[in-house]
């Protein structure tokens, strides 16, 4: 079943790289009591993700803060070190990278996709969502091959 507006995010463990190394992030704790703009990309260093999706959220992070969003976060079915390198290459300081290395979070959301015909295996669909205190209040899932409704600009316009 795919997550919907009004649903609570599923419990999952994601990973982010900190100055002290990899740190496990429990979704229940991470999203509790905060407003988070979360977006997912099929893969770090892939064309649309690198040229459009991540840069949009990087340039709009101040606009999100002005709308009361506490944090902007990105998730992908990549390991935390790949997401950290991708963040550094794209000057994405201020966007928290949350690795879903095994795709457990994407699967729990019902937003996984089969990218095996491109050699990617199971990945996350491209989406953006607004999460308030663990509850999904906005959800924008892209159709395969598109980049429209999951953009930072679109999510901002819906808040």
Confidence check: pLDDT of 119 > 80: no
Which residues does the annotation mark as catalytic? 49
Taken in order of first residue, the domains within the chain and their CATH numbers are 13-158 (3.40.30.10)
pLDDT reported for residue 70: 97
Phi then psi dihedrals of residue 49, to 5 deg: -60, -40
pLDDT band at 121, cuts 50/70/90? low
Percentage of residues of the chain with pLDDT beyond 90 = 77
E strand segments, the chain: 13-18, 21-26, 35-41, 71-76, 95-99, 112-114, 122-124, 127-132, 135-141
pLDDT reported for residue 23: 92
């Amino acid at each position: 079943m795919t997550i919907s507006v009004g649903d609570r995010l599923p419990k999952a463990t994601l990973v982010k790289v900190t100055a002290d190394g990899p740190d496990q992030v429990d979704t229940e704790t991470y999203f509790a009591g905060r407003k988070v703009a979360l977006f997912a990309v099929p893969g770090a260093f892939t064309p649309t993700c690198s040229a459009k999706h991540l840069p949009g959220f990087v340039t709009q992070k101040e606009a999100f803060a002005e709308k009361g969003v506490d944090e902007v976060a990105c998730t992908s079915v990549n390991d935390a070190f790949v997401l950290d390198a991708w963040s550094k290459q794209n000057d994405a300081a201020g966007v928290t990278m949350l690795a879903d290395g095994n795709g457990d979070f994407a699967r729990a959301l019902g937003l996984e996709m089969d990218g095996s015909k491109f050699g990617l295996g199971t990945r996350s669909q491209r989406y953006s969502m607004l999460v308030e205190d663990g509850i999904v209040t906005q959800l924008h899932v892209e159709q395969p091959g598109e980049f429209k409704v999951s953009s930072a600009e679109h999510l901002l316009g819906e808040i």
